[in-house]
Amino acid sequence: MLIKKPSDIPSAEITPKGLYLNRRSFIAGAGALAGVALAARQLSHIIAPSEKVIAGTKLDYGKSSYSTSEKETPFNDITHYNNYYEFSTDKYEPADLAKNFNPRPWTIKVEGLVNKPKTFDVDALLKKHLEERIYRMRCVEGWSMVIPWIGFPLSALLSEVEPISKAKFVEFTSLHDPKRFPGQQRNVLEWPYVEGLRMDEAMHPLTILAVGLYGETLPNQDGAPVRLVVPWKYGFKGIKAIVDIKLVEKQPISTWTKAAPNEYGFYSNVNPDVDHPRWSQAKERRIGEFLKRPTLMYNGYGDQVAYMYNGMDLKKNF
């Protein structure tokens, strides 16, 4: 009815029509992105906070002066946009795939070059003095969030086991269990996930073990039950579902460094001047914002952490 003689449409007309739709879709897209989408998502977050219940129990915690006052990324985005290869390489999938993951019972072994090696039960860790740390999180992929973590300084845990002076690095290991982590059934990365910090980085007051988010225990897809958060480094340094912390003499080799040594270094400090070989790190998109914002040196934590890297060639030690 609309098109009487379809086969007679001169093809030349297809393109203008395409361009017409093209323009309209962009107006629509941009409008939605700028306003409607944000407003609606905000709204759905307010009227449907039921998803929070999944996360679990409320935690007791204090505030911290290390927190930023920037606008927090909505809970729904923090829990539905996850780089968690143990579940999936698709950022939208872990939320669903982690639903039935049970982070109990769970222990974390702290061992290696220490006087008092000890195995901690995660429920005992939850009774530690917890703080809310609202940190910026910059992913190596070029996006960022502001996340209200609940946790405690890693240094508090490490001092309990009394590292000996030979200990120069800390090596973290994630759970390796392909039955519970479907992503581990393929060798997309070498499992288990391993990360590392230099001793001074590990003892730095900004470095925390997070056990919660938005006042409640950590959702599975965000690294339950315990994950590392090092806010001046790219997000992948924040190893999730930790089962082992080992104090060692030699610099550990991180999983991503093993996967692509020229792309992901041991330090992986956020640095707008040192690009990823395949993309620029100068800017980032804050989740929920339309325009990209400039990335800050050490993710804006330079005043607190820059001294640890004085005199270091940051292009070499990326």
Partner 1 sequence: MKAKYLKPVVFLACLVPLGRLAWNAYSSALGANPIQVITWSTGTWTIVFLMVTLSVTPVRQLTKQYWLIQYRRMFGLFAFFYGCLHFVTYIWLDQFFDLHSIAKDVVKRKFITVGFTAFVLMIPLALTSTQRAIRWLGKRWQKLHRLIYVTAIAGVVHYIWLVKKDIRVPLIYAVILGVLLLYRVIVRATQHTPVQQRMDKPTTRIDRSTVAAD
Q: Interface residues with partner 1 (CB under 8 A)?
A: 2-3, 6-7, 9-12, 14-15, 18-19, 21-22, 25-26, 28-30, 32-33, 36-38, 40-41, 44, 76-77, 80-81, 85, 89, 91-92, 141, 143, 188-189, 259-260, 275, 278-280, 282-283, 285, 287-288, 290-292
Beta carbon nearer to partner 1, 123 or 190: 190
> In terms of Cα–Cα distance, which of 107, 109, 110, 108 is closest to 247?
110
- CA–chain centroid gap for 310, Å, is 26
Nearer residue to partner 1 within complex by CB, 7 or 115: 7
Secondary structure (3-state) at 73: coil
Q: Distance from first CA to last CA of the chain, Å, rounded? A: 63
How many CB atoms lie under 10 A from the CB of residue 59?
18
Kindly write down the DSSP assignment for every residue of 250-314, as one continuous string.
SPPPPHHHHH-TTTS-SS-B--TTS-BTTB--SEEEETT-SS-EEPPGGGGTHHHHGGGGTT--T
Closest by Cα among 134, 9, 66, 74 to 304: 66
* Closer residue to partner 1 in complex, CB, 12/53: 12
Tell the smallest beta-carbon distance from residue 230 to partner 1 (Å).
20
CB of 241 to partner 1, least distance (A): 19
Q: Of 119 and 280, which has the nearer Cβ to partner 1? A: 280
Shortest Å distance, C-beta 95 to partner 1: 10
- State in angstroms the smallest separation of the CB of 302 from partner 1: 23
Q: Which is nearer to partner 1, 93 or 162 (CB)?
A: 93
CB of 28 to partner 1, least distance (A): 5
